[in-house]
Chain A
Amino acid sequence: MSDASSMSLIEVRDAIRNGDLTAESAASSCLHAISDRDGGIGAFLQVFDDAALESARAVDRGERTGSLAGVPIALKDNICLNHGRTTCASRMLETYESPFTATAAQRLIDAGAVIIGKTNLDEFAMGSSTENSAFHITRNPVAPDRVPGGSSGGSAAAVAAGFVPGALGSDTGGSIRQPAALTGVVGMKPTYGRVSRWGLVAFASSLDQIGPFGRTVADVALLMDVIAGFDELDSTSSPRAGMAVSPTLSEPVGKLRIGVPRQVRSEHNHPAVVRALDAAITTCTSMGAEVVDVDLPRLDDGIAAYYVVATAEASSNLARFDGIRYGHRAALSAGEGLEDLYARSRAEGFGPEVQRRIMLGTYALSSGYYDAYYRTAMQVRRLIRDEFDAIFASGVHAVMMPSTANPAFRIGEKVDDPLQMYLEDLYTVTANLAGVPAISVPAGVTTEEEGDGTALPVAMQFVGPVGGDEVVLRVGAEFEGGRVEG
């Protein structure tokens, strides 16, 4: 019997399609891998053993068909599913059972995918290490003493560990690309509006996007073809028709021009990232691409602008968790009233990082500070968008830069220093601020010496213009296929 845990998503899909593997055995091998090994990793918050097997058997009986028929998939636990719980890794939603299924998840199900379980995250997607989960941490499958990145660390780890061939995450400031980079898998943040946000528990609505993880760019392209497309339930959904890039993914992109921002050649990059960037430029040149220097002068201001915009939106979005209609409700003492119910439920239900971001956003929006913080951040956001627009208007097809400046850090290393944790997102937040698509592709490893005995993955991301999701997937696929080792 083929072992689905070592196969790419497309290999699993094809093996089921050709009759070499049943959907039930594919689901079963994922469930066994999880029960055998996830105790040491912690990628999952819930596993749907019986429901997954039943859903797989329906594929085998021919009752469920589609482009992902029988393919096991995991969902980040801030994506609503009307089965099991949707916790956002928060005490606030510990017992919450969503009455909805998110559009992106429904599209996977409609395409025949088998939902294996819900994956761990930093609470409400706020964090870069998956150490902020209220339930447990997730370890990096490549090096278990290190973080898998975050906030979609559970989904990244689930794919990296071979528990599932594909997964969905969400990316507000790098929460798909950074964990993909740190665990050695592929992850993509689509253009803002390309994938419906309906049913994604909102963190920062103008930045959030659902996106896929896979072992290869082709796997991610196939998932994008399924989840992208207009959704009338999301008022920011792009009216463009869906995607169909998979069948032509391997076609040559043509005479490519790749821009590398001068600002990412930073002295703060880890030596392995420096080597990977040099090697990636060689790869692009050997692909026949022209590699040119470009400028993102406001790159270094991205983090500051991002943490004002994102927390301002979060303070508003998370106001809905008040202990009244759903979620955690505090037990009141005699003499306490409605105001106490709100404030105590939120103090008990939210962890420290979520509370910090709500307070930061509340402060930034408060009387007397709105212009100084929020309006200023939105102006910087405009500059960053204009800088990307100018690069793409000059004939550059995609911008290449490291996904992160460093490989995976040790568990506990940054947990007491929120600002250092925020700076992890230096290279990823600009794509969210600008609303442009970006894919992270493995691009090398550290030496074993640099990684304390383990070769730790590093990655490059390819950033495209608004609506250029197909472009970054094609460039990513060509880069992946032609990669020259550094």
Chain B
Amino acid sequence: MEPMAHELSHDEARHVARLARLALSDEALESQRVQLGAILEYVERLRKLDLDGVEPMTHAGAPDHTSGMESNRWDADEPGPALDNDTLMRIAPAIHPPFIRVPKVIDGGGGGA
């Protein structure tokens, strides 16, 4: 297992914010960095447990105690009903009907919407 550094550096915090798509000010980032460090230090306790051979529990579905039935299921990958364009236009924050307006994404993506 990799060693865990629960003290996040400023650069690590900035990297995580970037991965999370959060444009935080330096002040907001520093506040989060300190709080996250405290939480990660607390979470460290899990590393002290002997977990050899324990199968990770990847979902909450389990056989029902009376029926034995499982709650997780696979559905066929088939298209179902979708929202109509009027509804999509109504809830979108910027539109050019029948399209949703977005900033330029090609040629470097510079420039506003």
Residues of A near any B CB (own CB < 8 A): 96-97, 99, 191-193, 206-207, 235-240, 298, 301, 303-305, 307-308, 315, 319, 322-329, 332-344, 346-347, 350, 352, 355-356, 358-360, 362-363, 366, 368-369, 371-373, 375-383, 385, 392, 418-419, 422, 433-435, 465-468
Contacts and interface: CB of A to CB of B under 8 A. Distances in A.
A141 to B, nearest CB: 31
Contacts of B104: 337-338
Given A344-B23, A435-B60, A326 B92 contact: yes
Contact of A337 (B23, B94, B105): B105
Contacts, number: 217
Contact of B16 (A308, A362, A378): A362
Interface in B1-49: 1-2, 4, 8, 13, 16-24, 28, 31-32, 35-36, 38-40, 42-43, 45-47, 49
A376 B2 CA distance: 12
A341 B102 contact: yes
B65 A466 contact: yes
A359 B65 contact: no
B32 A356 contact: yes
Contact of A360 (B39, B45, B74): B39
A94 B14 CA distance: 28
17 contacts: A192-B61, A236-B71, A236-B73, A319-B21, A336-B110, A338-B104, A356-B32, A358-B20, A358-B22, A359-B13, A359-B20, A360-B39, A363-B40, A378-B57, A382-B54, A467-B67, A468-B65
Contact of B100 (A206, A319, A325, A433): A325
A371 B1 contact: yes
A359 B12 CA distance: 11
Question: Which of B38, B39, B42 has the most chain A CB atoms inside 10 A of its CB?
Answer: B39
Contacts of A344: 23
B73 A360 contact: no
A392 B100 CA distance: 53
Contacts of B4: 369, 372-373
A329 B101 CA distance: 11
A466 B64 contact: yes
B51 to A, nearest CB: 4
B46 A304 contact: yes
B79 interface: no
Contact of B21 (A193, A237, A326, A343): A343
Question: Which of A319, A325, A341, A346 has the most chain B CB atoms inside 10 A of its CB?
Answer: A341
Contact of A363 (B16, B38, B60, B94): B16
Q: Dominant SS at the B interface?
A: loop
Given A236-B72, A358-B22, A467-B65, A376 B39 contact: no
Interface in B54-90: 54-67, 69-75, 83, 87-88, 90
B111 interface: yes
B64 A338 contact: no
B22 A322 contact: no
A359 B32 contact: yes
Contacts of A329: 93-94
Contacts of B16: 359, 362-363, 366
B46 A305 contact: yes
B39 A419 contact: yes
B103 interface: yes
Shortest 10 CB-CB contacts between residues of A and residues of B: A193-B71, A378-B56, A337-B109, A467-B64, A435-B60, A343-B23, A329-B93, A382-B57, A465-B65, A332-B112
Contacts of B75: 235
Contact of B60 (A192, A237, A239): A192
Contacts of B98: none
B85 to A, nearest CB: 12
Contacts of B62: 192, 385, 435, 466
A363 B36 contact: yes
A362 B21 CA distance: 10
Contacts of B42: 303-304, 419
A418 B60 contact: no
Nearest to A315: B20
B63 A337 contact: no
Contacts of B109: 337-339
B71 to A, nearest CB: 3
A344 B100 CA distance: 18
Contact of B54 (A237, A337, A383): A383
Contact of B22 (A303, A326, A355): A355
Contacts of A237: 71
Contacts of A380: 46, 49, 51
Question: Which of B42, B55, B60 has the most chain A CB atoms inside 10 A of its CB?
Answer: B60
Nearest to B8: A363
A458 to B, nearest CB: 25
Given A235-B73, A344-B23, 9 more contacts: A238-B64, A239-B71, A304-B43, A338-B109, A363-B16, A378-B56, A378-B58, A379-B51, A419-B42
Contacts of B40: 360, 363
Contacts of B2: 368-369, 371-372
B33 to A, nearest CB: 9
A97 B43 contact: no
A138 to B, nearest CB: 23
A193 B88 CA distance: 29
B17 A359 contact: yes
A301 B49 CA distance: 9
